[in-house]
A and B are shown apart, each in its own frame.
Chain A
Amino acid sequence: MVNYRADQLDRIFAALVDSTRRAVLARLEREKSASVSDLARPFVIKLPAVMKHLDVLEEAGLITRSKKGRTVTVQLRPDPLQAAMEWLSHYQRFWSTSLDRLAIYAEGKEAEARRKKR
């Protein structure tokens, strides 16, 4: 369970590699929810292939599916993706600022060393 979050984040990024899956997510973002057959319509690939893509997205926690009668409705779950992005940007800020200061410090030390040489 400790590593579950790590696995989950890997799955998210693996899920996002594919353009069909990104197209599905983009559409769900616009329309909030859609049936599986609606989602499959714009793609040249067959329904079972679309279902496989939905499996990947669902395993990554990016969508949910609910069945009512014969219709399966798909909905976007934005939270996990947002959390992943927040973490990346958090560390991006942390290290970006740190490295800027590191560069200034090291360059100052180098200038000092050169002055001493003269």
Chain B
Amino acid sequence: MTTLTLVRQIKAPPSIVFEALTTPQGIANWWGPDAGPVLLAETDVRVGGRYKVRFRRLNGDEHECTGEYLEVEAPKRLVMNWQWTSGGEPAEKGNLSRLSFDLRPIEGGTELTLTHAQLMTEASRNSHGQGWTGALDKLMKHFS
């Protein structure tokens, strides 16, 4: 399993961090790979509830991710699946990855651990070079 893990220490209690992670107003303030705006944030924070976030990058590209909450344990743990969508339809053949946030109270604030697993499911989004799929196609041909 390929997994990205990031840890941050934040000078705010877990309750405030959890709120920032789960409310549309909170999400609108931080979600995205650069300083571009969040255009839409919807959350239904309960197990089985869904979220949707659309954001615009500084280069003008718009992206949307959506998924379902799998574990909700305020203010300690939040697990959701993750999928890129395009115009409401799943991109990537509906492949999902899994995103989790774990919050641990520490002196003066919160230690947040983010884990994003199964990153390769978005591999076909790779727009430059021949990408993963191309490399494997070539490999398959090589041995057929």
Query: A-side interface residues toward B, CB under 8 Å?
Result: 2, 4-6, 8-10, 13, 61, 64, 77, 79-80, 82-84, 86-88, 91-107, 109-110, 113
Q: In the docked arrangement, what's the CA distance between A102 and B78, Å? A: 15
For B122, the chain A residues whose CB sits under 8 A away are 87
Interface of B is mostly: mixed
Cβ-defined partner of B118 (8 Å) among A4, A6, A61, A97: A6
Q: In the docked arrangement, what's the CA distance between A109 and B25, Å? A: 12
Residue of B nearest to A89 (CB): B4
Interface pairs A-B: 3 shortest CB-CB: A110-B12, A79-B135, A101-B30
Known pairs A13-B2, A103-B11. 13 more at Cβ < 8 A?
Answer: A5-B132, A8-B120, A8-B136, A9-B2, A79-B134, A80-B132, A84-B2, A92-B6, A95-B116, A99-B114, A105-B26, A106-B20, A109-B20
Q: Is the CB of A6 within 8 A of B30?
A: no
Total contacts A-B at CB 8 Å? 121
For B142, the chain A residues whose CB sits under 8 A away are 64
Q: Is the CB of B135 within 8 A of A61?
A: yes
Q: Is the CB of B13 within 8 A of A110?
A: yes
